[in-house]
């Protein structure tokens, strides 16, 4: 797809945010636009709770629909640590993650980062703008080098308007995310740090893990202990201690950069 009048370095911006210390977090952006082949990603695995079944937008598109998404989109590259958007910016685009990983977060009054969610290849982000919320309310930052397809709200609406089945899919994605957010809020409200960590591992395994025989799930550990702490509301030292405890109690076993989770055993911990 040829984009006339748009340079490869479409725009470059920077802003400094306080992060609870003397030094700040420099957020830069560099978007480069070029042609790419149609989107490709794996389809979701079977046997998951309903709120994990339809959260991957790209995986539920046909080959033709993927090509049509490419036609209405601009390909943008972001380096690790760059922001796709900041709070209070106009919400003019939605993003489909082709590769990489992003986090949505807020910064508390005392400078601490609070991670709201992590999104992976195939996910759609920025959809609150599509729902009529005119400005961004969070930071969206890459956790690694990331490539996204960016479509204007108008073009994406036009794409969906003639495809009601995809509009229904988007509604299911939003409902699933709302349900997951409620689970997280409940978790933060009533569970101690050990149960919150167990719940995080179980949710992650069901959403992204590989199901093995005998009730085991292999989960790739692609987040740091600090990032996990920011998600479940504790500190890195506590995560380190609890991971050692869960491993000693054989709730999981390490396998390289992954862990093998005992799903039923984790569930019994949460039910106890």
pLDDT, tens digit, 9 for 90 and up, residues 125-179: 999 888 888 999 999 999 999 999 999 999 999 999 999 999 999 988 888 888 8
Q: pLDDT higher for 214 or 55?
A: 214
Query: In degrees rounded to 5, what are phi and psi of residue 25?
Result: -105, 115
Per-residue pLDDT band for 257 (boundaries 50, 70, 90) equals very high
Q: What six digits make up the tokens of 208? A: 């992204």
Higher pLDDT: 215 or 210? It is 210
Token digits for 188?
A: 């933060």
Task: Provide the pLDDT confidence category of residue 10 given band limits of 50, 70 and 90.
Answer: very low
Q: What is the rounded CA–CA span in Å between residue 45 and residue 10?
A: 37
Mean predicted lDDT score pLDDT of the chain: 82
Provide the pLDDT for residue 55: 66
- Please, what is the Cα angle at 68 between 67 and 73, to 5 degrees? 100
Instruction: Give backbone dihedrals phi and psi of 221, rounded to 5 degrees, phi first.
Output: -90, 90
Q: Strands 83-85, 113-119: parallel, antiparallel or unpaired by DSSP?
A: unpaired
Which segment, 8-22, 57-71, 139-153, 210-224, is predicted with the most confidence on average? Answer: 139-153
> pTM of the full predicted structure?
0.74
Rounded Cα distance between 35 and 71, Å, is 10
Asked whether residue 35 carries a pLDDT value surpassing 70, the answer given is no
């Amino acid at each position: 797809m040829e984009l006339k009048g748009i340079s490869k370095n479409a725009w470059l911006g920077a802003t400094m945010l306080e992060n609870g210390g003397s030094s700040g977090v420099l957020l830069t952006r560099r978007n480069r636009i070029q042609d790419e082949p149609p989107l490709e990603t794996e389809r979701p695995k079977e046997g998951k709770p309903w709120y994990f079944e339809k959260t991957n937008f790209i995986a539920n598109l046909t080959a033709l629909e993927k090509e049509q998404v490419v036609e209405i989109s601009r390909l943008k590259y972001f380096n690790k640590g760059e922001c796709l958007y900041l709070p209070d910016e106009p919400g003019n685009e939605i993003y489909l993650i082709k590769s990489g990983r992003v986090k949505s977060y807020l910064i508390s009054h005392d400078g601490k980062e609070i991670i709201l969610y992590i999104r992976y290849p195939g996910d759609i982000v920025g959809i609150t703008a599509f729902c009529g919320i005119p400005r961004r309310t969070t930071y969206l930052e890459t956790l690694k080098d990331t490539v996204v397809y960016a479509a204007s709200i108008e073009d994406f609406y036009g794409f969906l308007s003639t495809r009601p089945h995809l509009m229904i899919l988007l509604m299911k994605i939003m409902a699933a995310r709302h349900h997951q957010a409620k689970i997280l809020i409940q978790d933060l409200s009533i569970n101690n740090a050990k149960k919150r960590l167990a719940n995080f591992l179980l949710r992650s395994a069901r959403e992204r893990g590989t199901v093995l025989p005998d009730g085991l799930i292999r989960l790739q550990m692609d987040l740091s202990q600090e990032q996990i702490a920011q998600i479940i509301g504790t500190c890195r030292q506590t995560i380190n201690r609890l991971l050692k405890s869960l491993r000693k109690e054989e709730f999981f076993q390490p396998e390289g950069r992954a862990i093998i989770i005992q799903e039923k055993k984790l569930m019994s911990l949460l039910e106890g």
